[in-house]
Amino acid sequence: MSRYRLLPCIVLVFAISGPVTPGEERRTVQDPDLDSARQKAARETDRVSRSAEDRLAEAQYREKAAGLALRVDAGAAASRENAALLYYQALLARREPDPATADVLNALSRGGEPDLRVRAFLGRHLATIELAQIASQMPHCHWGPMRAGEQQLDFNLGIPLRRLSRILDADARTLAADGYTRAALARCLTLRRLAHHAADDTYNLFSISQSIHTLGLLAMMQVLSMGPTDRETLTWLKGQLAAVPGTPFRPAEALHQWREAELRFWQTRPKGRAFTRELVLEKVPDADDRKLLSTLTDDQLLILALQGEQKAPGRYGISAPPGLLRRARQACDEFLAAALGIMNADLSYVEKRAKLLEMVETLDDRAADGDPIALLSEAPRVVEIYHRLMVRNAVYDNLVTAAIEICLARATTGPFPKALPAGLPQDLFTGRDFLYERAAESSVLRFDPDNLSRIRVRQFEFRARKSGSRNP
């Protein structure tokens, strides 16, 4: 719009407001008490307005959240549309919580209780929750093309997806606190489906998926620990866990894809000059460093220079020779094949971890000796971490299975069982049964007593809930 079209509006506003007398102008500028009173009144009006909005949002949440969590969209499962489009809409509808609400949300994720602020926040995000729920029920999800020159989706996708998962986690825990056990468990399954949709064999999306998968399982354990839960709901949950996949672990595909991503980095770099010893050494300003580097073999110096190029492109202005890249790929493939053999071997977790760490610890020495694997070392360096995450998620799945059986036994007999039911999957970190203790009004389930998993929370207490479950 032209600024000249705005002129009549400005004149009209001025005419309605009337002229300001000199005295009024001085009072507006110079009377701090009046100004303070106006600001206080404005703040009070804003506070009352926000409180009314919060109460409305809380009421909407209490009215709609449980039914929404249990809703199955008839067309979603058969849809051929891309679920990512709905997830993106859900992310756009999300708003940042204020600091006080953020603190309560963080406490809630660690086992705290929801309050009015949390329910109001969730009430304002019912559209976000609904979009995510419908998207999670759709079979197809593709997050879109990569940016030019990138080998995988921007890692920044992980930040909004994790924020979305935090909303779903808060919803599950709040529903459980309000007595809606089945609705809370259904929301945990939404997290599980989101984790499956986020999954990809690229490292970034795998990391995002794995964290969401874990979040959903921890929320599920929290809901079950608040018991009792009726047999019908527990039987339903067992069936859902079997039908709803979470993060898929494909170590061979993932590790080789990460190797390919690093290989493409070398293949797509701007072409530089051919390697010579003189070209590299003349770029080293310190005489003592040059003297030390001059003792290296050609392979050692070339590998060292290319590692410098990887950290600071253009530092030496040299290219990786195609023959060297072929040798690097062969060395990397041999390393990964050996690591995968260890992962699949009939060994304990402790033995596998020790062997994988031993392999990883050789990489620096191999690079110093001029081994081409130094150019494709990203995948080899994470084999132990990948294996640990894979076992961790399997242990959480086993833990939920054990928790369901404990709750089923209690739903059948009344008190908590004296011991774990027979035939349960084990704690894969120890190779033994989960640790279980029964008290008068509770029971405790533990895993990994030596913290091989590096997981902070490794025990869960199951207790009686004073108020009955609503189970809509």
pLDDT digits (tens, 9 = 90+) for 231-242: 999 999 999 999
**Domain boundary pick from 333, 358, 387:** 387
Task: Name every residue whose Cβ is closer than 8 Å to that of residue 408 and which is 6 or more positions away in sequence.
Answer: 231, 234, 235
- Reported as a pLDDT band with limits 50, 70 and 90, residue 85 is very high
- Domain range holding 42? 3-57
Query: Is 75 within the bounds of a domain?
Result: no
Rounded Cα distance between 439 and 463, Å, is 10
pLDDT of the residue at 24: 37
User: Does residue 31 register a pLDDT over 50?
Assistant: no
Lowest mean pLDDT: which of 8-22, 108-122, 362-376, 393-407?
A: 8-22
pLDDT tens digits for range 423-456 = 999 999 999 999 999 887 789 999 999 998 888 8
Cα-based angle 361, 365, 366 (whole degrees, multiple of 5) = 100
pLDDT tens digits for 396-430?
999 999 999 999 988 888 888 999 989 999 999 99
CB atoms within 10 A of CB 114: 22
146: pLDDT confidence band, cut at 50, 70 and 90? low
Is 316 a member of any domain? yes
What average pLDDT does the segment 308-335 reach?
A: 87
Can you tell me the mean pLDDT for 79-106? Answer: 93
Residue 185 token pair: 């468990």
Distance CA 101, CA 103 (A): 5
Average pLDDT over residues 154-176: 90
Run of H or E residues at 255: helix 251-267
Residue 97 maps to a domain: no
Write down the pLDDT at residue 82: 95
Residue 264 confidence (pLDDT):
87
Q: How many domains does the chain have?
A: 2
Position 131 scores a pLDDT of 97
Band (328; pLDDT cuts 50, 70, 90): very high
Asked whether the predicted pLDDT for residue 76 surpasses 80, the reply is yes
Q: Please give the order of strands across the beta sheet that includes 459-463.
A: 435-438, 442-446, 459-463
Among 79-83, 140-144, 166-170, the range scoring the smallest mean pLDDT is: 140-144
Query: Could you say which of 354, 370, 387 is where a domain stops?
Result: 387
Summary mean pLDDT of the chain? 84
Distance CA 367, CA 184 (A): 51
Upper half-sphere CA count for residue 309 (Cβ side, 13 Å): 23
Is 170 inside any structural domain?
A: no
| Residue 80 or residue 15, greater confidence | 80
Note the pLDDT of residue 19: 36
Indicate whether 338 belongs to any domain.
yes
Q: Output phi, psi for 346, to 5 deg.
A: -85, 70
296 Rama sector, left if φ>0, alpha if ψ -120 to 50, beta otherwise? beta
- What letter does residue 296 receive in the DSSP assignment? S
Single out the residue of 276, 216, 196 nearest to residue 399, CA to CA.
216
Q: Rounded CA gap, 405 and 234, in Å?
A: 9
Return the pLDDT at 4: 33
Mean pLDDT of 291-299: 84
SS3 content of the chain, % helix, strand, coil (to 5): 65, 5, 30
Contacts (Cβ under 8 Å, ≥6 apart) of 263: 325, 328, 329, 376
For 358, the token pair is: 């031993």
Within a domain: 172: no
For 398-414, b/e burial (b = at least 16 CB within 10 A) is bbbbbbbbbbbbbbeee
State both tokens at 101.
């609400």
Q: What is the pLDDT of residue 465?
A: 57
Residue 258: what pLDDT?
A: 87
Which pair of structure tokens corresponds to residue 391?
């076992």
Domain boundary among 366, 387, 408: 387
- Does residue 119 form part of some domain? no
Q: What percent of the chain has pLDDT over 70?
A: 84
| pTM for this prediction | 0.80
Query: In the structure, what pLDDT confidence band is assigned to residue 59 with cuts at 50, 70 and 90?
Result: very high
115 part of a folded domain: no
What is the arithmetic mean of pLDDT over 61-77? Answer: 92
Residue 287 is predicted with a pLDDT of 84
Distance set, CA 366 to CA 280, 304, 311, 326, 340 (Å): 21, 11, 19, 17, 20
What's residue 319's pLDDT?
Answer: 82
